[in-house]
Structure 1
């Protein structure tokens, strides 16, 4: 399955486009979890959305993957993003299963559905012995999703000026 054309029971995953920026601004409004992402709180939602989408487009060019747009199959609404994020760490390249949801879609199991879909793609397509998720030590909701995604705590570290817990899962057969 193509990285840029995945789907799950309720969701479609596709490549991001600059046209997604206005819709993604909603992620940065009334979102009490933004401090867990290491973003500059002085920037406007418009600027943050633009920087976020442009960063993913750069990842596509450099690595062949990054956050994907996640839409509800039923409505076509952009509800969040999810994908594999390459993370150089020490002497190796780690691959993070990452996702973000607009606040109005929290509490419906979409985060877990995104994380499981992305993990499955990574297990089937990446040459690595494990997949990770980097989660702020205070982000209980994301820690819950990581555990539901079969991940366990590996270690803690500081990155991007934040205390993070690294969750991981082995990739069998690698």
Structure 2
């Protein structure tokens, strides 16, 4: 299990409790999270992150806090996980970013790092991902990274995507 990774512009690391207020800025922002779960308060955000960290110890992976390497500013949270709140989908890829960082390719860097980690270390046969049909950027990002549309999941109001493991 790796505690952190770096991409060209990002530092990806295990969330710490002191990260929660910075993460809640966007994880608790209804507009930023309009297509997914929005935390109602800091306590709920802390609980979600703590549960995922418990799963990291069990599974060997969970979402990372995403920081800009140049400044250290927290701009996102995401990566791989086996969702403890909606189990049964297997290894998933998810990403959540502060709206001030949208449109800069950071989600692309995070996805590339997470999928590389999955292919090399998790060894799952496939990774799933979800995107709301109205979130064109997220649907395009998943396709760009080799995910194939599977179906619309009505009860979640999300498109389900799947990407087979790439063995090098």
TM-score normalized by the length of structure 1: 0.83
- The change in CA–CA distance for 1:25 and 1:122 in structure 2 (over 3 A counts) is same
CA deviations over 1:110-156 (Å, ceiling 9, x no partner): 01111111011101112222112111222222112112212120222
CA deviations over 1:51-99 (Å, ceiling 9, x no partner): 332232222233222111111111111111121111443xxx6211111
Q: Which consecutive aligned stretches of 4+ in structure 1 deviate over 3 angstroms post-superposition?
A: 28-31
Measured in 2, the distance between the counterparts of 1:72 and 1:39 equals 23
Aligned residues: 165
- The change in CA–CA distance for 1:94 and 1:29 in structure 2 (over 3 A counts) is closer
Equivalent in the alignment of 2:54? 58
Q: What's the CA shift for 1:4?
A: 2.3
Equivalent in the alignment of 1:18? 17
Measured in 2, the distance between the counterparts of 1:173 and 1:33 equals 35
For structure 2, which runs of at least 5 residues remain unmatched after alignment?
none
TM-score normalized by the length of structure 2: 0.86
Q: What's the CA shift for 1:173?
A: 4.2
Measured in 2, the distance between the counterparts of 1:39 and 1:79 equals 16
User: Which one of 141, 144, 150 corresponds to residue 146 of structure 2?
Assistant: 150
Which structure has more strand as a fraction of its residues? 1
> Aligned with 1:36: secondary structure?
coil
Measured in 2, the distance between the counterparts of 1:23 and 1:38 equals 17
For structure 1, which runs of at least 5 residues remain unmatched after alignment?
none
Say yes or no: does 1:71 pair with 2:63: no
